[in-house]
Structure 1
Amino acid sequence: MIRKLFASIVAIVAIAGVVMAAPVVAQDNTVNVLYAGSLVNLMERSVGPAFEKATGQQFRGYAAGSNKIANEIKGKLRRGDVFISASPKVNGSLMGEANGDHVTWYVNFAESPLMIGYNPRSRFAADFGSKRWDQVLQEPGIRIGRTDPKLDPKGAFTVEMMTRAAELYHQPDLVEKTLGAADNPAQVLPEETLVGRLQSGQLDAGFFYSTETADLKIPAIRPAPELQAKASYTLTILSDAPNHAGASRFVDFLLSAQGRALLKQHGVDVVKPTVSGNVQAMPPSVQAVIDAAQ
């Protein structure tokens, strides 16, 4: 009787051990990618599935404003394997001992200029074809969407571009008339929801990167060259990445010929990869892919 009881206990412990071990195996096969919200469609519908097919790894994405993600990483509210930002400056907030040493290197790999996108079914749509874009944005009743300049580089670029436009077009009150306060709650929205709100008709116009307007066929106006602002996308493997090997495979894939082709298909301007920070800390495979792309 005692032998049977002992055998049963051993069996239960063994089963429990398998159950407890299962999530660890699953985690080792999952790559958590924290990325700028302007890349939602690209990552979730194209890069993620293609990466899974090519490597057998599981892609899990989280999209938000780049600064918001950095703040969450710094505050230990979110962990990830790969971080893709829309501005190199954001990486600086995660580098060095004082900032937690979350990032030691990063690669600039793509760019995307800021555009004014609009809903083709909006009652203001025709005006974008007959008037200068800043004049349309001042029309009574137009609903404009943008991101928070404190949480997202695109939001900061928007305010900067409108400030320069005020000077270029000799309209001192342009920013006040079009944007209102920097944190205007009637306009400021999470980056990952901005496109959906425009497409659903909740917004008439908004500020988007070219990757968003080109990828989703959103009619858009490119500002004058003097006003140009653009996202400069970077990627890195976070120092405390739970799945460092999987992260390396994701970065290798995104910087490979196949990954770069997917970026181009989604309206991203692919640039020659350049590395900042401690180059020696990069995985050899990533360095090899960068060398091949030169």
Structure 2
Amino acid sequence: MIRKLIASVAVLSGVFGASANALAADDTDVNVLYAGSLVNLMEKSVGPAFEKETGLHFKGYAAGSNKIANEIKGKLRRGDVFISASPKVNTSLTGDANGNHVSWYVNFAESPLLIGYNPKSRFSAAFKTKKWDEVLREPGLRLGRTDPKLDPKGAFTVELMTKAAEAYHQPDLVEKTLGAPDNPQQVLPEETLVGRLQSGQLDAGFFYSTETSDLKIPSIHPAPELKIKASYTLTILNDATNRAGATRFVNFLLSAEGRKLLAEHGVDVTKPAVQGSVEAIPPSVQAVIDAAQQ
């Protein structure tokens, strides 16, 4: 009888111990859902620096901003922090009709859309001597872009080509360059686009300056009148499981050190601009925002 009692106590101790360890692990994990164009920045720079600074564990998930928003709304994915490449994405998560996942967000950085190309591509020389829109229409060129329905970059790509068609008086430029909006020969997940270009699977693609600068990808800047850029936003999701950890991550990214890391990776750092319910912003986050606005 005594042996059975001791065994039962041991089992219960193991169960409670495991639960305590799991809870402790959850308390240190900060789940950050972010735009796929920031993979290198987040995984190799911001994440490690945040962990070193706070002792917390950065857990990142990268994908197209709209795709992430759809997964949040569909309750397919939960996170603590959400970083989007377009303010419009946040509106799809705001209000009771949209699940009330977001009450506020901060615009904190920008990154222009460029045409990046593989320096080993047989078309690389052409990008140095011809107009970029002519090169993109060369027979055999493998062009990559993201889905305009799932990723702001994909929508920006269509917008850029539409503006170019008007500026260059070429009504069929979009169709000849991109084909259909969801052209399966071009449309790829945002988080895989850079890797496919670097591996030689693509000759060229549409990228933000943070990607081309960070990874030393040769790039073409469209004419000033065609300039289109991502506007990165940051928020703590209302159903965050680790709100304290999320607050510390936001504070870090908006701090002088975090902003320095952003600039080092080719992001145009801007003064934080708050949208939405100011009252819902944690006081420590508001203090960091105020300091960055000086």
| TM-score, reference length from structure 1 | 0.99
1:117 alignment counterpart: 116
User: Matches of residues 178-189 of structure 1 in structure 2 within 5 Å?
Assistant: 178-189=177-188
**How far did residue 20 of structure 1 move?**
2.5
**How far did residue 143 of structure 1 move?**
0.5
Please give the secondary structure, in 2, of the residue aligned with 1:126. helix
**How far did residue 270 of structure 1 move?**
0.1
2:106 alignment counterpart: 107
Asked if residue 152 in structure 1 is aligned to residue 151 in structure 2, the reply is: yes
User: Which shows bigger deviation, 10-19 or 199-208?
Assistant: 10-19
Letter in 1 for 2:268: D
User: For residues 119-158 of structure 1, what are the alpha-carbon distances to aligned partners after superposition, in whole Å with 9 as ceiling and x for unaligned?
Assistant: 0010100011111100100111100000000000000000
1:208 alignment counterpart: 207
Please give the alpha-carbon distance, in whole angstroms, between the structure 2 residues aligned to 1:15 and 1:198: 50
2:176 alignment counterpart: 177
2:68 alignment counterpart: 69
Letter in 2 for 1:26: A
1:45 alignment counterpart: 44
2:276 alignment counterpart: 277
User: For residues 232-270 of structure 1, what are the alpha-carbon distances to aligned partners after superposition, in whole Å with 9 as ceiling and x for unaligned?
Assistant: 000000000000000000000000000000000000000
**How far did residue 24 of structure 1 move?**
1.4
Please give the alpha-carbon distance, in whole angstroms, between the structure 2 residues aligned to 1:267 and 1:67: 23
1:14 alignment counterpart: 13
Please give the secondary structure, in 2, of the residue aligned with 1:42. helix
Asked if residue 242 in structure 1 is aligned to residue 241 in structure 2, the reply is: yes
Please give the alpha-carbon distance, in whole angstroms, between the structure 1 residues aligned to 2:223 and 2:157: 14
Please give the secondary structure, in 1, of the residue aligned with 2:124. coil
Please give the alpha-carbon distance, in whole angstroms, between the structure 2 residues aligned to 1:8 and 1:284: 49
**How far did residue 15 of structure 1 move?**
1.5
Please give the secondary structure, in 1, of the residue aligned with 2:115. strand
How many residues align structurally?
293
Runs (5+) with no aligned partner, structure 1: none
Please give the secondary structure, in 2, of the residue aligned with 1:38. helix
User: For residues 2-56 of structure 1, what are the alpha-carbon distances to aligned partners after superposition, in whole Å with 9 as ceiling and x for unaligned?
Assistant: 2332122112211221112211110110000000000000000000000000000
Please give the secondary structure, in 2, of the residue aligned with 1:260. helix
* RMSD of aligned Cα (Å): 0.6
Letter in 1 for 2:228: A
User: Matches of residues 85-96 of structure 1 in structure 2 within 5 Å?
Assistant: 85-96=84-95
**How far did residue 93 of structure 1 move?**
0.1
Q: Percent identity?
A: 76
Please give the secondary structure, in 1, of the residue aligned with 2:24. helix
Please give the alpha-carbon distance, in whole angstroms, between the structure 1 residues aligned to 2:154 and 2:4: 65
Please give the alpha-carbon distance, in whole angstroms, between the structure 1 residues aligned to 2:268 and 2:171: 33
2:291 alignment counterpart: 292
Please give the alpha-carbon distance, in whole angstroms, between the structure 2 residues aligned to 1:42 and 1:205: 21
| TM-score, reference length from structure 2 | 0.99
Letter in 1 for 2:27: D
Asked if residue 233 in structure 1 is aligned to residue 232 in structure 2, the reply is: yes
**How far did residue 197 of structure 1 move?**
0.3
Please give the secondary structure, in 2, of the residue aligned with 1:240. coil
Please give the alpha-carbon distance, in whole angstroms, between the structure 2 residues aligned to 1:217 and 1:165: 26
Please give the alpha-carbon distance, in whole angstroms, between the structure 1 residues aligned to 2:267 and 2:20: 40
User: Matches of residues 135-150 of structure 1 in structure 2 within 5 Å?
Assistant: 135-150=134-149
Please give the secondary structure, in 1, of the residue aligned with 2:272. strand
**How far did residue 203 of structure 1 move?**
0.4
Runs of 4 or more, structure 1, over 6 Å off, are none
**How far did residue 226 of structure 1 move?**
1.1
Please give the alpha-carbon distance, in whole angstroms, between the structure 1 residues aligned to 2:85 and 2:212: 16
User: Which shows bigger deviation, 38-47 or 171-180?
Assistant: 171-180
Please give the alpha-carbon distance, in whole angstroms, between the structure 2 residues aligned to 1:86 and 1:164: 20
Please give the alpha-carbon distance, in whole angstroms, between the structure 1 residues aligned to 2:210 and 2:41: 9
Runs (5+) with no aligned partner, structure 2: none
